[in-house]
Amino acid sequence: MKRYLVLEDGNVFEGEAFGSSHITTGEVVFSTGMTGYQEAITDQSYADQILVFTNPLIGNYGVNLDDYESLQPKCRGVVCRELARYASNWRKQDTLDHFLKQNHIPGISGIDTRRLTKIIREHGTMKGCLVNSIEDKQHTIEQLKATVLTDQLVDMVSTKQPYPNPGTKRNVIVVDFGAKHSILRELAKRECNTIVMPYTVTAEEILQLHPDGVLLSNGPGDPKSLPQAIKMIQNIMGKVPIMGVCLGHQLMCLANGADTFKMKFGHRGFNHPVREIATGEITFTSQNHGYAVDPESLKATDLMPTHIEINDGTIEGVRHRKYPAFSVQFHPDAAPGPHDAVSLYDDFMQMIDKRKGEQDD
């Protein structure tokens, strides 16, 4: 069955349909990851986006329960060069095609993803739609241009009710802006007693629980669309150790007076090199974001840059000069990898223990 990817700039790609038969519209973005298609598709940071994989083959090892980053993925569509005809792996529990059908996500294969990626790199991310027929191309493009994508993405993916991830050691609150399961796995490895809270949680509600630390999770969209969350962070800053990841990093920077901007095509993939400023050490990181922190805006704040992206020099991490708080733009939990930066969770644990020791004294 034929399927078409239509871009708002007028480009049309013809390919073969797989996954759901639904037609869909979203922001077209690309990921440079060589593996991890399941983790990417189930990452809530891709909410309302049509995800293009630059790796030429996906689906070859199927889908399994261990690699979910969320149980209800919100990405709008999947685009690839080739869908594996047969999936083979000892952990495989389902095929990618069937998984997408179950989750109402359409896919298209057999298109020139190299050309498509070049268009996005040159012109930036843009709206696109996946349709099963294109009888009137101009009408389809006009409809696409007129479509307004929602900016309330976090509300779409955040938990509606608090829930626990029990442990026996430090008490950590995770504010869920679209949290990946791998964040909870890393906290569980460190035996944290975790409570996951909705993005609408207030500072008062957090502090009433007397947490040892607060983790601001990843999530989709523009951080400036979350003024309530920015206010919450301002009101817990200095009262409890904080770690921010991805969207959580951008929100922490906004809460401290910095600014953010929309990137041309963002960072998405599992191979982004980042330099730690203090040591010069280079780590490869997992990233998924379309916004970044303005480095000039940090100069008037109490935030100190700690990491930069080697390819484009964007800010990848900050630390507060006065309070126990730091954040990173990348995903140190790094599902499916690399795991170069996973020790940042240990740094968070040490920050919590140091603060608890000072309070005990």
The answer to whether the beta carbons of residues 278 and 321 sit under 8 Å apart is no
- The whole-angstrom distance between residue 141's C-alpha and the CA centroid of its chain comes to 28
CA of 183: how far to CAs of 164, 178, 202, in Å? Answer: 14, 11, 21
The answer to whether the annotation marks 26 as part of a ligand binding site is no
State the DSSP code for 245: E
The answer to whether the annotation marks 350 as part of a ligand binding site is no
80 among known catalytic residues? no
CA distance 34 to 55: 5
Contacts of 63 (CB under 8 A, 6+ apart): 38, 87, 92, 93, 94, 95, 96, 99
333 among known catalytic residues? yes
Answer whether the bond into residue 166 is a cis peptide, omega within 30°: no
Helix axes 247-255, 227-236, angle to 10 degrees: 70
The answer to whether the annotation marks 290 as part of a ligand binding site is yes
Instruction: Provide the greatest CA pair distance for the chain.
Output: 74
The residue among 112, 143, 86, 108 whose CA lies nearest residue 2 is: 108
Which of 212, 246, 267, 289 is an active site residue? Answer: 246
The answer to whether the beta carbons of residues 306 and 326 sit under 8 Å apart is yes
Burial group, residue 280, by CB count within 10 angstroms (0-12, 13-18, 19+):
exposed
The answer to whether the annotation marks 359 as part of a ligand binding site is no
The answer to whether the annotation marks 132 as part of a ligand binding site is no
The answer to whether the annotation marks 317 as part of a ligand binding site is no
The answer to whether the annotation marks 62 as part of a ligand binding site is no
The answer to whether the annotation marks 291 as part of a ligand binding site is yes
CA of 39: how far to CAs of 85, 114, 156, 181, 204, in Å? Answer: 20, 22, 19, 10, 34
CA distance 361 to 348: 20
> What are the structure tokens assigned to 265, written together?
């095509």
CA distance 152 to 222: 9
Which of 48, 67, 97, 333 is an active site residue? Answer: 333
The residue among 351, 208, 320, 209 whose CA lies nearest residue 359 is: 351
Which of 67, 176, 331, 340 is an active site residue? Answer: 331
> What are the structure tokens assigned to 109, written together?
């294969």
Tell me which residues are annotated as active site.
246, 331, 333
Binding residues for L-glutamine are 45, 219, 221, 247, 250, 288, 290-291
Binding residues are 45, 219, 221, 247, 250, 288, 290-291
